[in-house]
Amino acid sequence: MERSRRARIFAWTASGLGVISLVLVGVSVGLRFSNQAIDADVIGRQNFINATVQLGQVEAALLQLLGNAALNNKDEQIHDLLTRHGITVKPTQPPAVK
């Protein structure tokens, strides 16, 4: 009788641990899919940031070229356009000779 009781306790304990293991596997799979979605979102945001930095560099170069064109060609329309948008166009000063 004692042996049979121990066998049943062992069987129920093993079954319970098996169910807990399956639940934990399910939770692990769910977290993996959740992490993949978050990773995709983070990668998308990082790509946006990288593109913004590159566009900022293009913008700076374009403004520099427009400013130079306004000064070199004495183009008041370009100068006024840049000034209206808060961009000051000044000729560059050559470095002072010591």
Question: Rounded to an integer, what is the distance from CA 75 to the centroid of its chain?
Answer: 41
Q: How confident is the model at residue 42 (pLDDT cuts 50, 70, 90)?
A: very high
pTM above 0.85, yes or no: no
In this structure, what token pair is assigned to residue 88?
């000051």
Residues 39-64 have a mean pLDDT of 92
pLDDT digits (tens, 9 = 90+) for 53-90: 989 889 988 988 888 888 888 888 888 888 898 888 87
The pLDDT assigned to 94 comes to: 65
The enclosing H or E element of 59 equals: helix 2-72
The pLDDT assigned to 52 comes to: 92
Distance CA 83, CA 77 (A): 10
Output the CA torsion sign for 73, 77, 78, 79. positive
pLDDT digits (tens, 9 = 90+) for 7-32: 999 999 999 999 999 999 999 999 99
**Residue whose pair of structure tokens reads 């329309």 in the numeric block:** 77
- CB-facing half-sphere around the CA of 9: CA atoms within 13 A: 6
68: closest CA among 58, 57, 82?
82
The full set of domain ranges for the chain reads 2-84
The pLDDT assigned to 96 comes to: 64
| pLDDT for residue 97 is more than 80 | no
